[in-house]
Amino acid sequence: MKANDNLTLTIFGASGDLAYRKLVPSVYDLYMQSLLPDCFAILGVGRTVYSDQDFRDKMIKGIKEFSLQPTDDEEKINSFINLLYYVPVDSKKTEDFAKLKDRLQEISDKCHTEGNVIFYLSTPPSLYEIIPANLSAHGLNKEDQGWRRLIVEKPFGYDYETAQALNSGLLKYFEEKQIYRIDHYLGKETVQNMLVFRFSNGIFEPLWNRNYIHHIEITASESIGVGERGGYYEGSGALRDMLQNHLMQLVGLAAMEPPTKIEADSIRNETLKVFEALRPIGRDDVSKYAIRGQYGAATVKGESMKAYREETGVDPDSRTETFAAIKLFIDNWRWSGVPFYIRSGKRLPTRVAEVVVYFKKTPLSLFGDESEMTHEYNQLVLRIQPDEGVLLKFGLKVPGAGFKAETVNMDFHYSGLSDAYLPSAYERLLLDSMRGDATLFTRGDAVLAAWKFVDPILKAWKKDPNVPLYQYPSGTWGPEVADKMIDGEDVTWRYPCRNLADDGIFCEL
Ligand code: BG6
């Protein structure tokens, strides 16, 4: 659905990597699908001194490298690139925002963008409160001539207190309905599919509760290390980088009650209720419910991988976790007693994200100890990436004499759809923000509730020397102790392959 209101997308931090690799290429993708409004402009803002032309030249390269749409039509690229402008501004200097105001006015007059502006904060988090304050000092947050929206990238705070302070800081200058907090996982097509899968199928919803589900597992693993981002990662770690935001959002979608409508507040109210029902983990119980690890050196497929402590920008004695796993409970009517296990890490064997629902076993094992189904749970795998799709594992008779049951797969792959264009997360989220639809953006209260849950873990990891930090060799599934955290007979984490359905057999990772 096209964005109808004409507008200027103002990107702070426009000379940075995110604008180059994701934001501008995603807007180009929207342009190629005729989803942008009739009158549209991008205004890049940054400290680097660029002319409009410098900015355009740089962005052409980004588009050619990262766009998902065809980039061989020079005429199309040029007509898109002419929608781009740039103004050098030091975001810390209030007086510099006068230049921004003038440029926005000029663009609005020239391109007929009608005073509607999205401000996208793609800057270091230290500027997240300064920029809104400076926008406000020049009246740029006021909606008297068109609407104003503010998109904030993660990290949204560093812990509960800083997230609370940031929230209040933003709310001094913008109203909640103007603020769009990005969690790019919510922009993923397959993450949104969790809502459709759960609430459009009569067959699964009746089973989706403590009566039939044994436990739920959520994995988001990466095979890469921290690369050039050691400096950032040192102050973050896996818990802040992936679990507090992306994985918690997945928990919210997997566990929420049906919203009354598919619209922003209904859905976000339900996510909030899930987070509010999370059983708090006390500081003394952290080791029981949360495991942290850090990757060590190893040779993976003949390639030698550095230890995390040897990466650029990382303290040689670093205690930052590159792997985190948590066992959590949602104390509400639907989920009481059902454990959720979530894990994420760098330098694991492969890049994969999936939600696995383990259904309870039958009350009796009629088909004997030899049968696979005596030992396995029916599993429903919602694969987020790669090889996006859905897999259901159930027991079937092995042909021939007797009654031996083995596990078989029923699977759906998005790649099997002939017109399966999966838009990038940023493409979807940028379009929604232009359309004023905040459904896939996180709301301040839910972000704080998620921080409240992880905060005691962060504090214990920082302050309590008795909480172990396990080292795991690069290329493995994290510390061995994490394998033992799952309750149940014959069960540990699923061993996911790159291909959704190639499981239980040898697979290339
Ligand atoms: C980001 C994290 O939010 O998500 C990165 O900061 C991580 O460390 C990335 O690599 C993973 O995203 P995706 O879409 O590749 O799963």
3-state SS class at 383? strand
Residue (of 327, 340, 373) closest to 214 by Cα position = 340
CATH number (domain holding residue 206): 3.30.360.10
Ligand 1 mean position to 219 CA, how many Å? 13
As a whole number of angstroms, the distance between CA 404 and CA 344 comes to 36
The answer to whether residues 295 and 472 touch, using CB atoms and an 8 Å cutoff, is yes
As a whole number of angstroms, the distance between CA 156 and CA 448 comes to 9
Structure tokens given for 39 = 């009158």
Residue 397 maps to a domain: no
- CA–CA distances in Å: residue 436 to residues 149, 159, 263, 506: 9, 29, 11, 47
Q: The tokens 């975001």 sit on which residue?
A: 91
21 plus 135 within the same structural domain = yes
Instruction: Let me know if 112 is a catalytic residue.
Output: no
Residue 403 maps to a domain: no
As a whole number of angstroms, the distance between CA 283 and CA 421 comes to 46
Structure tokens given for 327 = 């066992």
Q: Note the pLDDT of residue 173.
A: 97
As a whole number of angstroms, the distance between CA 112 and CA 106 comes to 10
Residue 327 maps to a domain: yes
Ligand 1 mean position to 142 CA, how many Å? 34
Residue (of 423, 371, 419) closest to 394 by Cα position = 371
Best residue among 22, 152, 246 to mutate for probing ligand 1, ranked by most atoms within 8 Å of CB: 246
Q: How many CB atoms lie within 10 A of CB 312?
A: 11
Structure tokens given for 93 = 């200097």
242 plus 320 within the same structural domain = yes
Residue with CA closest to ligand 1 atom 8: 241
Where does ligand 1 bind, in terms of residues with CB under 6 Å?
Answer: 222, 241, 353
Residue (of 406, 411, 352) closest to 380 by Cα position = 411
Of 112, 246, 375, 413, the catalytic one is 246
Q: Note the pLDDT of residue 373.
A: 66
As a whole number of angstroms, the distance between CA 209 and CA 338 comes to 8
Residue 172 maps to a domain: no
Residue 343 maps to a domain: yes
142 plus 194 within the same structural domain = no
- What residue numbers bound the domain in which 113 lies? 7-153
Ligand 1 mean position to 250 CA, how many Å? 14
Q: Model's pTM, two decimal places?
A: 0.94
332 plus 472 within the same structural domain = yes
Residue 504 maps to a domain: no
Residue 203 maps to a domain: yes
Q: How many CB atoms lie within 10 A of CB 476?
A: 18
Q: Note the pLDDT of residue 389.
A: 93
Structure tokens given for 440 = 């896939």
Atom of ligand 1 nearest to the CA of 425: 14
CATH number (domain holding residue 31): 3.40.50.720
User: Alpha carbon 29 to chain centroid distance?
Assistant: 20
304 plus 250 within the same structural domain = yes
* Total count of domains within the chain: 2
329 plus 206 within the same structural domain = yes
How many H helices and E strands in the chain?
17, 17
Q: How many CB atoms lie within 10 A of CB 42?
A: 28
Of the residues 107, 137, 153, which one is the last residue of a structural domain? 153
Ligand 1 mean position to 346 CA, how many Å? 10
pLDDT < 50 stretches in the chain: none
As a whole number of angstroms, the distance between CA 333 and CA 29 comes to 43
314 plus 225 within the same structural domain = yes
234 plus 90 within the same structural domain = no
> Backbone phi, then psi, for 318, in 5-degree steps?
-55, 140
136 plus 49 within the same structural domain = yes
As a whole number of angstroms, the distance between CA 383 and CA 415 comes to 12
364: Cβ contacts below 8 Å, ≥ 6 apart: none
256 plus 207 within the same structural domain = yes
215 plus 289 within the same structural domain = yes
113 plus 202 within the same structural domain = no
Beta-ladder partners of 304: 299
Q: What is the mean pLDDT of the chain?
A: 93
Q: Note the pLDDT of residue 504.
A: 59
Residue 111 maps to a domain: yes
